[in-house]
């Protein structure tokens, strides 16, 4: 196995996870459960394809994808914060809604139930191995930037305060629901960029192209104990396992299904506290009164 090709493939697999897990971290640190990452990614991928198709520009596609994620993030935010709906239920509803909406508009816009036509995108230079894609570099930078935002800025302090103890935050004059709205909106945009990367890397949208990646990101958030950098490392770890599976194909040492299980099994082990307990933000899932 060639270490360079292993590393490049691992990074390309990791980028969608890196975006989505960062989205998950910021929303959950503000106290809002994010099982909807998969839905944001799928909407992001589809809106980006629409944008790139009608404008002919990949960058307009990126903006459209971010907008799609923002809309779905705001739906989750309004349902969870304004209407105090059960956040697990809304998260799952967002995922179902995203599948339905993307399929319906795929049919409406492109008269297809499986994929869009080829659209503008990034990369394509074989020798660059995908590293000529600006979104890939953004994906690698998103975790350190988020860590700075969460730990070094007043906004980050507010997010953490609201996620740990909303009543105390509120008594200090922090508008808790405003902080949560912004955090969930950022979460929708970030996770959507993961889907945008997929669509513009492949230059098209295919039905359900995110294929459960949003749930791997959820696993990474928990395995990374709600910390931006640790979550990013978890994404790289999960991507490494996946790369190993792809590169070992043909060599039947470990069946691929067992490699698929790794992120989920590690997350359960982390939750059960066998190797250091994963403790969520204290007010996660509790709607403010």
Residue numbers at the binding site for another protein (CB under 8 A): 33, 35, 75, 78-79, 83-86, 88-90, 92-101, 103-104, 106-108, 113, 212, 215, 218-219, 222, 255, 257-258, 260-261, 264-265, 267-268, 271-273, 280
With beta carbons less than 8 A apart as the criterion, state whether 18 and 145 touch: no
With beta carbons less than 8 A apart as the criterion, state whether 284 and 163 touch: yes
Task: For the CB of residue 189, give the shortest distance to another protein in the complex, in Å.
Answer: 20
**Nearest-angstrom CA–CA distance, 204 and 224:** 31
Task: For the CB of residue 21, give the shortest distance to another protein in the complex, in Å.
Answer: 14
> Among candidates 21, 27, 266, 39, which has minimal Cα distance to 143?
21
Of residues 62 and 94, the one with the C-beta less far from another protein: 94
**Nearest-angstrom CA–CA distance, 232 and 282:** 22
Of residues 76 and 203, the one with the C-beta less far from another protein: 76
**Nearest-angstrom CA–CA distance, 222 and 213:** 15
Of residues 104 and 137, the one with the C-beta less far from another protein: 104
Other CB atoms within a 10 A radius of the CB of residue 95 amount to: 22
> Among candidates 20, 18, 32, which has minimal Cα distance to 82?
32
Task: For the CB of residue 280, give the shortest distance to another protein in the complex, in Å.
Answer: 8
With beta carbons less than 8 A apart as the criterion, state whether 213 and 17 touch: yes
Of residues 52 and 106, the one with the C-beta less far from another protein: 106
**Nearest-angstrom CA–CA distance, 186 and 24:** 10
**Nearest-angstrom CA–CA distance, 265 and 252:** 21
DSSP letter at 153 equals S
Of residues 201 and 242, the one with the C-beta less far from another protein: 242
Task: For the CB of residue 27, give the shortest distance to another protein in the complex, in Å.
Answer: 15
Of residues 141 and 279, the one with the C-beta less far from another protein: 279
Helix then strand then coil, % of the chain, to nearest 5: 70, 0, 25
Is 114 buried (19+), middle (13-18) or exposed (0-12) by CB count in 10 A? Answer: exposed
Task: For the CB of residue 277, give the shortest distance to another protein in the complex, in Å.
Answer: 8
Task: For the CB of residue 219, give the shortest distance to another protein in the complex, in Å.
Answer: 6
Task: For the CB of residue 137, give the shortest distance to another protein in the complex, in Å.
Answer: 30
Of residues 70 and 97, the one with the C-beta less far from another protein: 97
């Amino acid at each position: 196995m060639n270490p360079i090709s292993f590393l490049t493939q691992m990074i390309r697999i990791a980028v969608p996870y890196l975006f989505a897990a960062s989205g998950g971290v910021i929303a959950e640190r503000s106290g809002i459960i994010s099982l909807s990452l998969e839905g944001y990614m799928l909407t992001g991928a589809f809106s980006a394809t629409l944008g790139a198709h009608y404008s002919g520009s990949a960058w307009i596609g990126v903006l459209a994808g971010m907008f799609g994620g923002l809309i779905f993030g705001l739906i989750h935010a309004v349902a969870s914060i304004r209407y105090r709906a059960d956040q697990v239920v809304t998260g799952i509803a967002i995922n179902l809604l995203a599948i339905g909406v993307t399929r319906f508009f795929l049919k409406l816009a492109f008269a297809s139930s499986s994929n869009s036509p080829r659209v503008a995108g990034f990369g394509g230079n074989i020798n660059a191995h995908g590293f000529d894609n600006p979104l890939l570099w953004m994906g690698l930078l998103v975790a350190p930037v988020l860590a700075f935002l969460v730990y070094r800025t007043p906004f980050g302090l507010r997010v953490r305060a609201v996620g740990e103890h909303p009543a105390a935050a509120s008594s200090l004059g922090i508008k808790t629901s405003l902080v949560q709205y912004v955090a969930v909106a950022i979460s929708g945009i970030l996770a959507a960029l993961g889907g945008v990367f997929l669509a513009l890397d492949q230059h098209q949208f295919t039905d359900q192209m995110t294929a459960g990646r949003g749930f791997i990101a959820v696993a990474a958030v928990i395995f990374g104990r709600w910390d931006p950098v640790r979550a990013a490392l978890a994404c790289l770890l999960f991507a490494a396992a996946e790369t190993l599976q792809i590169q070992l194909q043909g060599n039947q040492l470990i069946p691929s299904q067992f490699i698929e299980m790794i992120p989920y099994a590690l997350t359960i082990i982390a939750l059960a506290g066998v190797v250091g307990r994963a403790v969520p933000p204290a007010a996660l899932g509790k709607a403010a009164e």
